[in-house]
């Protein structure tokens, strides 16, 4: 998978081990599209979320249906 600009920047300024940790944690944060029900990780859509908490509401474009909407991001225990 091709890295987004944000992910490339994080990779440039991080060691390999730290980048792997950031990627692993970012993949545990997911959102579910309110239109089509598709679930995707923040990493899959080009984002980074590391050492974060809460359930923020952010504007995200669904990679499946293409609709931009406010989505709640939640951390899952399973990757």
Tens-digit pLDDT profile for residues 26-35: 999 999 998 8
CA–CA separation, 10 vs 23, rounded Å? 10
Name the domain count of the chain.
1
Cα separation of 11 and 75, whole Å? 22
Model pTM greater than 0.85? no
- pLDDT tens, residue by residue, 6-61: 999 999 999 999 999 999 999 999 999 988 999 999 999 999 999 999 989 999 99
Residue span of the structural domain in which 30 resides: 5-75
Residues shown for the chain: 79
Question: In sequence order, what DSSP letters do the residues of 10-55 get, joined into one string?
Answer: HHHHS-HHHHHHHHHHHTTEEEE-TTT--EEETTTTT----S--S-
């Amino acid at each position: 998978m091709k890295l987004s600009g944000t992910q490339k920047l994080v990779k440039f300024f991080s060691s390999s081990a730290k980048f792997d940790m950031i990627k692993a944690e970012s993949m545990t944060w997911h959102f579910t599209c309110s239109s089509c029900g598709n679930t995707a990780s923040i990493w899959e859509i080009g984002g980074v979320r590391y050492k974060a908490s809460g359930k923020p509401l952010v504007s995200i474009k669904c990679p499946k249906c293409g609709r931009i909407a406010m989505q709640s991001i939640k951390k899952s225990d399973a990757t």
